[in-house]
Every structure is written in structure tokens, then in C-alpha cells.
């Protein structure tokens, strides 16, 4: 169905009027139906859902008000516009009370009617689009909680869909707050083991000796204080998924132990002899680049190769700023429900600040900012003052540029282009807008100065 199409029903017993109105609304975005009686109108209303009904109030065999009530009951969202002759304005007012959207007095001025319907249609369209976006967002949110419409996040959706249907080991890399845990959970929930446990071990949260007992569990008497037998997380994750978060924090000794389990699919509890076989999926995450850690001698290469069969890199938010408005909308809906408040809107200025903020804490930070703003902002709109001072005061493009006396204007221009591009994550339209030149001119300059930006790579 064409979503932007507006369906209009014209109801009038006078053929001339009916056809005249229909003719004047003959536009490609409208689909116009004509009914000569309330009975005919009802049969249309039973089959189609309309945006607008334009109806005469006085028709033979019909009480206009009663008819209006029936229409509104059948299609509560419809905008009913009453056409009334001079002298019956009182009835029209009654109609408004019963839920009519407006009334127009006859004779109808065709030119005015066109503009009138055009505005109304535009309003309907906006409402429709808004509802559409909301329901799409809600669906995704209910599905796996991952939101975004950027190309980069779409690639991640695809990867999740692909890998979740396999048992392959996954390594998730990305800065703090980019959604690694969210993605790990989504892979598990969509996957073959969705009805089995999902167990997390935060490798950064325990010292070396505790990691062992957390992973493998222990037998009674394995060490002082081991008063009972305790199962470890590997065992708890049996048949399901273990999520090894912050794996870059594991000590080299722990890395050896883990590698052994991954290779042999079995282990023994601390202080025990029994070999316990396991069948689990492994997902690991790190906000450090494991390859670099390998080079620095802090991470074992053999373990690294075991883990990164498939690596999913979650891009920082500043490299997918298109997602900021969509995420913001979703979070505002979420928090309005959580705090039982009407959903807030972002003022233009606020949105601008958010789009230009580098978000070192990524999506987690955006989420926190909006939770805070939902609570603090007084009216329906979130203004810059409702953001944390650090963002509110940050001038949109605050990256500084040093100019050395002796540089040529061309050198400065080149430097300015590079800095601007990097500030907007390589987004050329955005960079051109900030620089005050056309995208074409930017392309020309990129070539001229031999600048290779991210988009071109
Ligand atoms: N694409 C997304 N859509 C909606 N919410 C998201 C998205 N990505 C992250 N979030 C939310 O942001 C917060 C941080 O995400 P998560 O904990 O998964 O990040 P992380 O990469 O594991 O961070 P850290 O490295 O600090 O542990 C969570 O509340 C999560 O729900
Ligand atoms: Mg995490």
C-alpha cells in the first residue's frame, strides 16, 4: 500500500456538488471516493480505511449527527469535515462536539478547499510517518533491543542474523558503550541455543585466582573456605552460551586455562578429578584491540586465533551519527514509559548539540543523557540547558586548529578540511555544510589536496 496516499470520502446527495468537489481534489496523492447517501458511504467505510471524510450534514433519510457518530465509531482516526449551509451552524457546532474535525460553510470555495485539504493531508501524513517510525522502532526494540538505521548498524544486524544460526565463536570489539553486550545477548537469543542458559563472566571484575574458581567451580575442600562444592560458570552455561566480557583483562595464566577448555571441551573443577565435558557457544568481547594486545605480549596469539573466528567490530557512535536521532527517539519513548511522563521532544538546538558531540561513552552515554533530560526538563521539549553542562557548553565544532605563521592559505585549507572531516566521521555532506561549500567543491578540494578520507577508502 502506498503509505503517503490520503484517502478521502466525499458524501453529498447532490451530484453536482459531489463531482465538483471530487474534481477539485483530483491529485495524485489523494484517492477520492464519492457516496451519494449515508448508506453508500457506510459500505465504503466498511471496506476501506479513510483519512478524511467530507460530508454534507443534511441528506434525505439521514440524521447528520447520528451518521457522524457511526462514522467515528467505525473509524475513530478519520477526520470528518462537515459541510453545512448558512443557518445550520448550530448543528455544525454540535457536530464538532461529537467529534467532527471541522466544518465548512457552503458554498464551498474550491480554491480554499484545496489548500485546506492539502494542509490536512500533510498533517495526516506526518502523523502516519511518525506512527510508522515508532512501530518499527518498537518492533526492533522488542526483538533484540538494537536500534539504528545507519549502514554500519545494518551490517551488524546482518552479521547477527548470519552468525546466530551457527555455533561459531564470536569476538566483539568496540569502545565502551557501543553495544557489545547487547549484541552478544541478541546472538544468543536468536540462535540455536536460545532456550539454554546465557552466562556472563566479566573477566575484568575478578583477580586471577578468583577467575579460576568462577570459571571452573570447585570441590568441597579445594581450598580454605571451600565448604561446599560449587559449580563454575562454564558448567552453568552447559548447552548454552558463555559470554566472556572484557576478555583482554585476563591474565596470561588464565588465558592458558581458558584456551585448554576451548580446545578440549572439558575441564575439571578446582580440587577435583572428574572431567566434565561441555558443549557451549563462546562469545567474547573486548574494548581493547586484541591484536594490539597480542603484539604487546599481553594476549596469547593462540587464544586470539581461537576467539576471532568471526570478529564483529561495533563502530563508535560518532562514526554513525545518522543513528543519533533514531536512538534518541527510542530512548525518549522508553524513558517516558519508565517515568510515566509524556514523551519529550528534542529542540533543534539540542539535536544539533547531540549530533556534534563526540560521545566518548557512546550509546550508553546518549542513553544516560536522555534519561536525565527526561527527568529534569520541565516542559515537553528538551532544551540545551537540560543536557549535562559539558555538552550544553561544548561548542558544536570545538576541535581546535593551530595555525602557524608561515603556513600558506592552501595548507590551512587542507588542514581545516581534514579536521572537519574527522570531526564528522568522514560524512561529506556534513563536512561541506560546516565548511560552507558544496559537496562538489569539497570533492574537488579532496582531490586537489590528495586527501583520502574514510568514505573514499
Ligand atoms: N544499537 C543500540 N540500540 C539501543 N540501545 C543500545 C544500542 N547499543 C547500545 N545500547 C545500549 O547502550 C548501553 C550500553 O550497551 P552495552 O552494555 O551493550 O555496551 P558495551 O559495548 O558492552 O559497553 P562496555 O564496553 O562499557 O561494557 C546499554 O544500555 C544498551 O542497551
Ligand atoms: Mg559490556
State the CATH number of the domain containing residue 331: 1.10.8.60
Asked if 187 and 308 sit in the same domain, the reply is yes
What is the band of 53 on the pLDDT scale with cuts at 50, 70, 90? Answer: very high
Asked if 18 and 119 sit in the same domain, the reply is yes
Residue 335 inside a domain? The answer is: yes
- Please report the atom of ligand 1 found closest to the CA of residue 180: 21
Q: Enter the pTM of the model.
A: 0.64
Nearest Cα residue to atom 9 of ligand 1: 179
Residue 140 inside a domain? The answer is: no
Nearest Cα residue to atom 13 of ligand 1: 364
Question: Which of 138, 174, 182 for mutating ligand 1's site (highest number of atoms within 8 Å of CB)?
Answer: 182
- Please report the atom of ligand 1 found closest to the CA of residue 363: 12
Give the distance (Å) from ligand 2 centre to CA of residue 179: 7
Which residues, judged by CB distance below 6 Å to any ligand atom, belong to the binding site of ligand 1? 145-148, 174, 176-182, 287, 327, 363-364, 367
Residue 345 CB partners (closer than 8 Å, separation 6+): 332, 380, 381, 382
pLDDT tens, residue by residue, 142-193 = 667 888 888 898 899 889 999 999 999 999 999 999 999 999 999 999 999 9
Give the pLDDT score at 454: 45
What is the band of 91 on the pLDDT scale with cuts at 50, 70, 90? Answer: confident
Residue 163 inside a domain? The answer is: no
| Radius of gyration in angstroms for the set of CA atoms belonging to the chain, rounded to a whole number | 31
Residue 194 CB partners (closer than 8 Å, separation 6+): 188
Asked if 24 and 42 sit in the same domain, the reply is yes
Grid coordinates in use for 352?
544539533
Give the distance (Å) from ligand 1 centre to CA of residue 454: 24
pLDDT tens, residue by residue, 276-297 = 999 999 999 999 999 999 999 9
Instruction: Please determine, for residue 306, whether its predicted confidence score (pLDDT) is greater than 60.
Output: yes
3-state secondary structure of 224: coil
- Please report the atom of ligand 1 found closest to the CA of residue 184: 18
Range of the domain at 361: 318-393
pLDDT tens, residue by residue, 191-239 = 999 999 999 999 999 999 999 999 999 999 988 888 999 999 999 999 9
Residue 153 inside a domain? The answer is: no
Number of Cβ within a 10 Å radius of residue 355 = 16
State the CATH number of the domain containing residue 67: 3.40.50.2300
Nearest 10 degrees: Cα torsion 138, 144, 149, 151 = -170
- Give the least confident one: 205-219, 257-271, 410-424: 410-424
Give the distance (Å) from ligand 2 centre to CA of residue 152: 19
Nearest Cα residue to atom 27 of ligand 1: 176
Point out the domain boundary residue: 276, 291, 314: 314
Give the pLDDT score at 421: 82
Asked if 177 and 293 sit in the same domain, the reply is yes
Query: For residues 140 and 157, what is the distance between their CA atoms, to the nearest angstrom?
Result: 11
Q: Which of 441, 394, 399, 390 is nearest to 422 (CA)?
A: 399
- Measure Cα distances from 88 to 18, 148, 375 in Å: 20, 53, 49
Residue 402 inside a domain? The answer is: no
Average of per-residue pLDDT across 91-116:
86
Residue 154 inside a domain? The answer is: no
Asked if 336 and 436 sit in the same domain, the reply is no
Query: For residues 151 and 266, what is the distance between their CA atoms, to the nearest angstrom?
Result: 40
- Please report the atom of ligand 1 found closest to the CA of residue 145: 4
Give the distance (Å) from ligand 2 centre to CA of residue 372: 21
Nearest Cα residue to atom 23 of ligand 1: 177
Asked if 231 and 332 sit in the same domain, the reply is no
What is the band of 370 on the pLDDT scale with cuts at 50, 70, 90? Answer: very high
Instruction: Please determine, for residue 2, whether its predicted confidence score (pLDDT) is greater than 80.
Output: no
Instruction: Please determine, for residue 1, whether its predicted confidence score (pLDDT) is greater than 70.
Output: no
Give the pLDDT score at 277: 96
Asked if 279 and 334 sit in the same domain, the reply is no
Give the distance (Å) from ligand 2 centre to CA of residue 191: 20
Asked if 207 and 279 sit in the same domain, the reply is yes
Point out the domain boundary residue: 131, 160, 179: 131
| DSSP designation for 29 | T
Give the pLDDT score at 374: 94
Q: Percentage of residues in the chain with pLDDT exceeding 90?
A: 55
Furthest C-alpha separation in the chain: 98
Give the distance (Å) from ligand 1 centre to CA of residue 369: 14
* Count of the separate structural domains present in the chain: 4
Give the pLDDT score at 241: 97
Query: For residues 214 and 197, what is the distance between their CA atoms, to the nearest angstrom?
Result: 16
Q: Which of 326, 311, 287 is nearest to 150 (CA)?
A: 326
Point out the domain boundary residue: 393, 428, 443: 393
Instruction: Please determine, for residue 453, whether its predicted confidence score (pLDDT) is greater than 90.
Output: no
Residue 146 inside a domain? The answer is: no
Amino acid at each position: 500500500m502506498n503509505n503517503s496516499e490520503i484517502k478521502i470520502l466525499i458524501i453529498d446527495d447532490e451530484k453536482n456538488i459531489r463531482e465538483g468537489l471530487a474534481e477539485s481534489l483530483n491529485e495524485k496523492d489523494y484517492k477520492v471516493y464519492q457516496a451519494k447517501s449515508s448508506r453508500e458511504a457506510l459500505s465504503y467505510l466498511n471496506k476501506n480505511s479513510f483519512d478524511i471524510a467530507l460530508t454534507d450534514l443534511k441528506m434525505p433519510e439521514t440524521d447528520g449527527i447520528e451518521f457522524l457518530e457511526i462514522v467515528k465509531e467505525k473509524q475513530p482516526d478519520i477526520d470528518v469535515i462537515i459541510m453545512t449551509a448558512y443557518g445550520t451552524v448550530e448543528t455544525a457546532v454540535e457536530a464538532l462536539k461529537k467529534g467532527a474535525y471541522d466544518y465548512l460553510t457552503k458554498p464551498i470555495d474550491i480554491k480554499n478547499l484545496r489548500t485546506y485539504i492539502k494542509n490536512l493531508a500533510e498533517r495526516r501524513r506526518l502523523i502516519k510517518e511518525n506512527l510508522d517510525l515508532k512501530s518499527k522502532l518498537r518492533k526492533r526494540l522488542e526483538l533484540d533491543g538494537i536500534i539504528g538505521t545507519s549502514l554500519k548498524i545494518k551490517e551488524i544486524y546482518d552479521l547477527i542474523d548470519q552468525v546466530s544460526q551457527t555455533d561459531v565463536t564470536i569476538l566483539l570489539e568496540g569502545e565502551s558503550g557501543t553495544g557489545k553486550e547487547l549484541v552478544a545477548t541478541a546472538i544468543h537469543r536468536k540462535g540455536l541455543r536460545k532456550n539454554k542458559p546465557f552466562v556472563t563472566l566479566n573477566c575484568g571484575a575478578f583477580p586471577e585466582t578468583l577467575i579460576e574458581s568462577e570459571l571452573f567451580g570447585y570441590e568441597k575442600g579445594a581450598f580454605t573456605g571451600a565448604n561446599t562444592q560449587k559449580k563454575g560458570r562454564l558448567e552453568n552455561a552447559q548447552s548454552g552460551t558463555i559470554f566472556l566480557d572484557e576478555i583482554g583483562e585476563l591474565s596470561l595464566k588464565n588465558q592458558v586455562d581458558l584456551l585448554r577448555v576451548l580446545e578440549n571441551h572439558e575441564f575439571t573443577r578446582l580440587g577435583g578429578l572428574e572431567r566434565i565435558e561441555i558443549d557451549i557457544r563462546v562469545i567474547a568481547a573486548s574494548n581493547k584491540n586484541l591484536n594490539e594486545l597480542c603484539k604487546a605480549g599481553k594476549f596469547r596469539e593462540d587464544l586470539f586465533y581461537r576467539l576471532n573466528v568471526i570478529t564483529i567490530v561495533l563502530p563508535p557512535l560518532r562514526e554513525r551519527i545518522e543513528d543519533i536521532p533514531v536512538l534518541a527517539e527510542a530512548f525518549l519513548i522508553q524513558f517516558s514509559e519508565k517515568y510515566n511522563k509524556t514523551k519529550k521532544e528534542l529542540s533543534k538546538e539540542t539535536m544539533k548539540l547531540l549530533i556534534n558531540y563526540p560521545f566518548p561513552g557512546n550509546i550508553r552515554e546518549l542513553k544516560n543523557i536522555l534519561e536525565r533530560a527526561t527527568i529534569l526538563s520541565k516542559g515537553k521539549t528538551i532544551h540545551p540547558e537540560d543536557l549535562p553542562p559539558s555538552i550544553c557548553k561544548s561548542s558544536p565544532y570545538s576541535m581546535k586548529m593551530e595555525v602557524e605563521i608561515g603556513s600558506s592559505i592552501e595548507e590551512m585549507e587542507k588542514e581545516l578540511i581534514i579536521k572537519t572531516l574527522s570531526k564528522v566521521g568522514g560524512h561529506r555532506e556534513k563536512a561541506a555544510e560546516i565548511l560552507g561549500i558544496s559537496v562538489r567543491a569539497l570533492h574537488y578540494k579532496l582531490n586537489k589536496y590528495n586527501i583520502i578520507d574514510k568514505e573514499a577508502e
